[in-house]
Amino acid sequence: MASRSGESEAEEEQHRRVPLRERPEWSDVTPLPQNDGPNPVVPIQYTEDFVEVMDYFRAVYVADERSPRALALTAEALQFNSGNYTVWHFRRLILESLKIDLHSELGFVERMAAGNSKNYQMWHHRRWVAEKLGPEARNIELDFTKKILSIDAKHYHAWSHRQWVLQALGGWENELNYCTELLEVDIFNNSAWNQRYFVITRSPFLGGLKAMRESEVLYTIEAIEGYPENESSWRYLRGLYKGETASWVNDPQVSSVCLKILRTKTNYVFALSTILDLICSGYQPMEDIRDAIVALKTTDMDKQNNDDDEIGDQQNLNIARSICSILEQVDPIRINYWIWRKSRLLPST
């Protein structure tokens, strides 16, 4: 290894890892080799250091030695493979046995996260530590997840952990605002929309879905009008009426925003499918919506379904069919789905 400029040989010696077999404090331990057998498949060409650390780990694990040196060894082992859930588990057993102050453990996890934050084991460990620390860990955990999310706003583990923290330790007060902030930066962030739903349905400070519906509908419609191609906001709007289809069908704001988008003749796929879903739930579109839909039909569709003479159920059926036909054309990747939806509209005998 080339020496860095300005470093003495002694300093270099310190930076190089001392093998466990050369450390006097480990002289009493016989390392335990891996039982791979003579002809293992998927054999990994471990480095010498890796083999050594794991051989010593196996020895203390089998002996169930819960000591400070074993704790330090787990940290070394996790540097090599942070996915080794057995090492994480044993580390937890040691932390408990030695009654180690867990505040420093949070720091340990944070340093591990810097290396690779997409690791189930590390997040599970974090959750375990936070649970043990209780409410005092709350703000640390909210800050930690916020930090991760500032780098990757859709980080699945971070969001799961954050949700667990809110439910187990609290901290709901600012969460809706946090979602709003994230959505201001990226209105397409579906994780933030999901979190929004989580907050409005579960926060003890808000009134629950029903109570929040009015303000959330306004918020969502504004988002839809800004970017009608954004699937997240459409799904969220639908979600606001979960369990109350009649309210959804009867809310004029829903059909109204659809009409608005339909009239622009751009990015109207979700507006159309929403009308379709509404009709299937009993909605009877008025003339303005029907006209807006008909205006979207291309010439080859005009041959079917002359809506004007029909009324009531048959008229709704025709409009629904028209929507499916239009979608088959303008949303071709989902052609099979729209064909199936159309087939579901036909009453059988």
Partner 1 sequence: MSRESEGETNSSAAEAAPPCPTVTQRDQWMVESQVFQIYQLFATIPPNAKTLMLELQRDNHMEFLSKGLRHLSSSFSVLDSNRPWLCYWIFHSIALLGESVDDELEDNAIDFLNRCQDPNGGYAGGPGQMPHIATTYAAVNTLITLGGQKSLASINRDKLYGFLRRMKQPNGGFRMHDEGEIDVRACYTAISVASVLNILDDELMQNVGDYILSCQTYEGGIGGEPGSEAHGGYTFCGLAAMILIGEVNRLDLPRLVDWVVYRQGKECGFQGRTNKLVDGCYSFWQGGAVALLQRLYPIINKQMEGTSQIFTISDVSEEKGILDGTSSHATCHDGRHEGTSESCSSDFKNIGYNFINEWRAQEPLFHTIALQQYILLCAQEQEGGLRDKPGKRRDHYHTCYCLSGLSLCQYSWSKHPDSPPLPNLVLGPYSNLLEPIHPLYNLVLERYREAHEFFFAES
The amino acid sitting at 264 is T
User: Which residues ranging from 108 to 167 are in contact with partner 1 (CB under 8 A)?
Assistant: 116, 120, 123-124, 127-128, 153-154, 156, 159-160, 163-164, 167
Q: How far is the CB of 139 from partner 1 (least distance, A)?
A: 20
Q: How far is the CB of 10 from partner 1 (least distance, A)?
A: 29
Q: Does 189 bind partner 1 (CB under 8 A)?
A: yes
Q: Does 172 bind partner 1 (CB under 8 A)?
A: no
Using alpha carbons, select from 328, 319, 223 the residue that is nearest to residue 269. Answer: 328
Q: Which of 82, 117, 318, 325 binds partner 1 (CB under 8 A)?
A: 82
**Closest CB to partner 1 among residues 173, 340:** 340
C-alpha distances (whole Å) from 157 to each of 127, 164, 288 are 11, 10, 46
**Closest CB to partner 1 among residues 8, 249:** 249
The length of the chain in residues reads 349
User: Which residues ranging from 228 to 247 are in contact with partner 1 (CB under 8 A)?
Assistant: 230-232, 235-236, 238-239, 242, 245
Q: How far apart are CA 283 and CA 270, in angstroms?
A: 16
DSSP letters, 125-155, are HHHHHHHHHGGGGHHHHHHHHHHHHHH-TT-
Q: Which of 173, 222, 288, 302 binds partner 1 (CB under 8 A)?
A: 222
* Catalytic positions, written as ranges: 118
**Closest CB to partner 1 among residues 267, 298:** 267
Q: How far is the CB of 134 from partner 1 (least distance, A)?
A: 18
- Residue 243, by phi and psi: left (phi above 0), alpha (psi -120 to 50) or beta? left
Q: How far apart are CA 196 and CA 179, in angstroms?
A: 6
Q: Which of 13, 64, 136, 225 binds partner 1 (CB under 8 A)?
A: 225
3-state secondary structure of 110: helix
Q: How far apart are CA 82 and CA 349, in angstroms?
A: 61
Q: How far is the CB of 98 from partner 1 (least distance, A)?
A: 17
**Closest CB to partner 1 among residues 146, 242:** 242
Could you tell me if 156 and 132 are in contact, meaning their C-beta atoms sit under 8 angstroms apart? no
Q: Does 43 bind partner 1 (CB under 8 A)?
A: yes
The amino acid sitting at 194 is N
Q: Does 282 bind partner 1 (CB under 8 A)?
A: yes
Using alpha carbons, select from 194, 188, 191, 141 the residue that is nearest to residue 164. Answer: 141
Using alpha carbons, select from 122, 101, 103 the residue that is nearest to residue 113. Answer: 122
Q: Does 347 bind partner 1 (CB under 8 A)?
A: yes
Q: How far is the CB of 149 from partner 1 (least distance, A)?
A: 12
**Closest CB to partner 1 among residues 3, 167:** 167
**Closest CB to partner 1 among residues 13, 313:** 313
Q: Which of 7, 36, 136, 308 binds partner 1 (CB under 8 A)?
A: 36
Could you tell me if 305 and 274 are in contact, meaning their C-beta atoms sit under 8 angstroms apart? no
Q: Does 85 bind partner 1 (CB under 8 A)?
A: yes
Q: How far is the CB of 269 from partner 1 (least distance, A)?
A: 10
